[in-house]
Amino acid sequence: MDNAQIIRDAVREKAQIITGLNRSVWEYAELGYQETKSAATIIKALEDDGFTVTKELAGIPTAFKAVWGSGSPVVGILGEYDALPKLSQEADVTVKKPLAEGAPGHGCGHHLLGTGCLEAAVAVKDYLLEHPGQGTIVYFGCPAEEGGAGKAFMVREGCFKDCDICLAWHPYSATFASVSSLANARIIYRFTGKSAHAATSPYLGRSALDAVELMNVGCNYMREHMIPDARVHYAVTDTGGDAPNVVQAHAEVIYSVRAPRVDQVCELAERVHNIARGAALMTETKVEIQVVSAYADVLQNKVLDNLVYGHMKEIFPLDYSHEELDYAEKFHAVGDPGDWTLYQTMAAKIMGENGKAFFRGAMADVCVPPLPLKQGSTDVGDVSWNVPSAWFGSACFALGTPAHSWLAVAQGKSSIAHRGMTGAASVLARTALELMERPELVEAAWEEMKEAKKNCEYRCLIPEDVRAGSF
């Protein structure tokens, strides 16, 4: 029996169980570092399948690893299961309708990501049952990708040091073999001033909220004078209270600073720091600056990307039923045209204008080859600078579904989402098996990573005294 058949059989045998687990994690919808039920559900499934589980990796309660097999290569699969705040949404409806107002929801599809990686790990285990000693498969339970940089903390504690290769995927509304990402730092700025009555004696007060607003104005001016690929976002997390007749003695804002490389993030973050210090000086307040999480950019590996792409071409495009296409069309009709325009632009870069035609239906029906593009941020980047890694996307939502939206949550339990998840699991498993059968590919991937790092070594931007989940 060939590897592809073994994987197909394993996936088919576990399909009902995996779908049930996926629905459970969707329903739990737990935020980063709080994924107690989600992690426990996946751990139990792995233990029931014979994996040896080590809990609380890096001192994080919801981080773990599950191991099967022996010998080299050791292939890690990076699972995630955290949700996003305030994205609660009923399933399968095309209008915004929260299940519970203000509750979290899986707007980035990490329920699919985590259970899809489980599906892949089990499929590889079934292969190793028949071929013992050919390698080791490790499922890594990685919490808090959404802003919490769980994998960066795990890298810092050496959780991946025994891996030869790491593989990852992500649900999207398109299918692509590989892109990079932007490096990212999240920084909290806490301003402290002096309270006073805003009518009777405002001159006695020193407004921390004024400092936050001045900082934001300063950063707005900076945006014209930074590199085009950089991004600076913010959210005011403490306004100092709800009373307008009080001079606010405290206020807080969190910034996300992104750029293509870690060194560029460092440079840009220092400029943001200086703007904050300037705002404090102007308002006669004090500012505390704390970096709370950070991601490296994804270091693409051509050896692994091409290997992944080869297996993706055998699996994608997926064969959707008429009912699934009708379902997708309903969400496509209420989606954001900017979403599929993004993918059209990506396709046009390598396929020419004809590539845009693949992104005009309700479901993306093309697998885009590896692209030298940087999109968003992920803590997979920190792993990729320490272990050769591949990271790809699988279409789980209708075109027009923005990430981090209620539209994604609504489709999260659908058959199109499960079909995309299973397709990704098959790619992960087939790639892992080929790496076990062809160790020369592992060696080549390591050589490529070492060459890429000659002039740019990895640097974790998170201060040593910051602990995972402490903010």
In the chain, the domains with their CATH numbers are: 3-181+297-452 (3.40.630.10), 183-294 (3.30.70.360)
List Cα–Cα distances, 347 to 266, 292, 337, in angstroms: 32, 36, 16
pLDDT score, position 113:
98
Q: 212, 183, 234: which is closest to 462 by C-alpha?
A: 183
What is the Cα–Cα distance from 340 to 373, expressed in whole angstroms? 16
pLDDT score, position 361:
80
- Spans in the chain with pLDDT lower than 50: 1
pLDDT score, position 203:
96
Q: In degrees rounded to 5, what are phi and psi of residue 368? A: -80, 130
Give the predicted TM-score (pTM) of the model.
0.94
Cβ contacts of residue 344 below 8 Å, gap of 6+?
355, 356, 359
pLDDT score, position 345:
76
What is the Cα–Cα distance from 237 to 191, expressed in whole angstroms? 12
Three-class SS of residue 365? coil
pLDDT score, position 159:
98
My answer on whether omega of the bond before 73 falls inside 30° of 0, hence cis, is: yes
Contact 462, 156 (CB under 8 A): yes
pLDDT score, position 356:
67
Q: For the chain, what is the mean pLDDT?
A: 93
Strand 196-197 vs strand 367-368: parallel, antiparallel, or unpaired?
unpaired
pLDDT score, position 39:
98
pLDDT score, position 357:
65
Q: What is the pLDDT of residues 300-354, one digit of tens each?
A: 999 999 999 999 999 998 999 999 999 999 999 998 887 777 777 777 776 777 6
What is the Cα–Cα distance from 122 to 106, expressed in whole angstroms? 24
pLDDT score, position 5:
73
